[in-house]
Structure 1
Amino acid sequence: MAFKPSSLIEYALLAIPLYLFAISPLLRIFFPDVASSTTSSYQSFERTDSLIIPDDTLQCPPHSYATHIAHHEPLVIYVENFLSDAEAEHLVALAEKSYQLSTVFTGEAESFDPKIRNSSKALLARDDVVRCIEQRAREFQGWRKDVYIERLWAQKYEAGGHYTYHYDWSGDLSHRSGGRLSTFMVYLSADCEGGGTKFPRLGKPGEGKWCEFVDCEAKDEDGEGEGVVFKPRKGAAVYWENFRPDGRGYEETWHAGLPVKSGTKIGLNIWSWWQPGYSEALNRLETEREAKTSPDEL
């Protein structure tokens, strides 16, 4: 049978609505990354107050700390004196009236489950002390491109308080538009027994001097492995990277806040979020907003 050019046109006309209303929606469902690969990472952008835009004009007092590399891959660093005593005490006072029960996310639901996480949390108001600590955390990492400090939260653990094993990362960065790149666990107050931060899949960094910072007598009491337990010490911090260079999460960062046996531990979470295009999107939205609110030019 002879081929007619008109047939090709008819097939094309039939194929266009088929793609628009059937194939394309299915691609978005089953292959969301592929379907959106030709669009900018901030096409569906929504501003969030949880990410801090760097302020290069902020002037902070000088501060010094000592770093000790506990593990190279993933990079885990123990930081002595990340906060001064005055800064730690200021944050403890700042958080005191803002505590609420800490929750956990399971799928799309948020709930309080003390078997998983038994603590209270407080979002810290961004006064000058807090803003300078945000800046310090960013400087510590070398002012990484497209990386933003998240709003700071204090965490209070009283007797029996704990946070069971978990990751701070989720998914593969190569398949996501953003992710929690790194973590600081900072100790604001450590008037407690127990309450260490345990990484069961990491080995102890050593003996001797390290025994000031890690529990060299720790045993495998929970069946997760002996690992390494960092002691809570006022003003100190444990910093770690959550993702490999290829975007896969480090399974070795599986960690827990061990139960507080007595007293109170107050910690500070400093998370860094990788979000390409975020600043550009904010600038674009601000430009659009100004254009809409400015009087029409004659």
Structure 2
Amino acid sequence: MTPFTVDSITDLTGTTAVVTGANSGIGREAARILAEKGARVLMAVRDTDKGAAAARTMTGDLEVRRLDLADLGSVRSFAEEVEEPVDLLINNAGLMMPPLGRTADGFELQFGTNHLGHFALTNLLLPQIRDRVVTVSSVGHRTGVIDFEDPNWQQRPYRAMRAYAQSKLANLLFTSELQRRLTAFGSPVRAMAAHPGFAATDLLRTPQNRIVDTVEKVVLRVVGHDAEGGALPSLHAALSDLPGDTYIGPGGFLEGSGDPWPVERSRRASDPAAARRLWALSEELTGATFPLVAASASGQRVD
């Protein structure tokens, strides 16, 4: 199999892509490459000034729109303003190991932003999506456990790394259950997942966290790669002819860097019962539901 590179991407004229977190890191690189290849890119960012500054460094058809994934009101407003069909939704934005914080709706910040915000956004946009939903996870999902009784760390001492791993595991379970529902509906849309490996981006520049600083200074220099390399798995998942629910990551040492290929996920990330349970919990917390109706005479929702 030929490795996927930027040169593998053909002309994307006529394609519309939404990229969350497109003002920095791998989201910025994904947006830049898509626009350079001819796609219209909606840069969904929390800080529109930073988004505009990033867009000015790129060429192509780019539009900056405000989206705060830590605020379901902002998610709904963003979705309402996207009136055109969307070919690609790349759920890229995320937080890594911040101090304990809460979203506008009271969710733990990482679970609320990395998973619940994207869960709501995807379901709200799904009737307009024509091709792919790509959700960015992490090798950190391998240590993740979904605490269904306390997903928002209200009853137990907060552990930033465990909360991060839980949110990244949630990304993969969400992708699997979304694909199951799309298949049951008979939709041609594919739900995909990717992880960037160890990419040197602003996600890891958190001076208040000595553990992350150490990772950036030591591990990244040995097995990591730059932001463009970190964006390639997401682009591979978004643009290559692959089965739904494929998980793409770097094929190098520890999946830290190298050419993007299909990679394995953890046993917990392959649990269909957990995926369904997480979906039900996410619907309850966000109020967002799967909007498509199964193609059957009964007209029942897929669940």
TM-score, reference length from structure 2: 0.26
> Which has the greater radius of gyration?
1
Greater relative contact order (Cα 8 A, min sep 6): structure 1 or 2?
A: 1
TM-score, reference length from structure 1: 0.27
Going by fraction, where is helix more abundant, 1 or 2?
2
